[in-house]
Amino acid sequence: MKKTIFIFSALTIALLVLFQLSKYTYMSGDISIEIIIAVIAIIFFFIGAYLRTKTAKKEMIAESGINHKKIEELGISKREYEVLVQIGKGLSNQEIAESLFLSESTVKTHVSNLLIKLDAKRRTQALQKAKELQILSQ
């Protein structure tokens, strides 16, 4: 919201500056009014497109954003979450162990805890629930 106000203020100021500029150049008679208007139109066209891109990106991030609150709520620890991410990549326990420099036993412990915390019976179900809860990037 603060940013929106800031952007609109900046836009208004920019508009006023352009008015003064156009007035001056028009008075001097060097540049035709058509070109000034064209430049202004193009500038504002791209400003509009740029702002939409920014807000669209924000929406995308908000949609695909990871819900850190829910991770905490479920009591999932850092290490457990790292294991969850590797599961999402389709790795086996042994492969996860190698990628995180752990023994397979430790990975199994983490996986078991994850299954309890996500209320799942299998790792595939854990993945499905994690995506449902927006804990994992799709």
Partner DNA sequence: CCGGGACTCATACTAAAGTACCAAAAGCAT
Partner DNA sequence: ATGCTTTTGGTACTTTAGTATGAGTCCCGG
CB of 65 to DNA, least distance (A): 22
Residue 74 contacts residue 102 (beta carbons within 8 Å): no
Q: One symbol per residue from 23 to 52: x for binding its own copies (CB under 8 A), - otherwise; what is it?
A: x--x------xx-xxx-xxxxxxxxxxxxx
Residue 23 contacts residue 33 (beta carbons within 8 Å): no
Q: Which does 77 bind (CB under 5 to 8 A by kind): DNA, its own copies, none?
A: DNA
15 exposure class (CB count in 10 Å sphere: 0-12, 13-18, 19+) = exposed
Q: Site size for its own copies, by CB under 8 A?
A: 45
SS3 assignment, position 21:
helix
Length of the chain counted residue by residue: 138
Question: Which residues 74-113 are close enough to bind DNA by CB under 7 A?
Answer: 75, 77-80, 92-94, 100, 102-106, 108-112
Q: Which does 52 bind (CB under 5 to 8 A by kind): its own copies, DNA, none?
A: its own copies
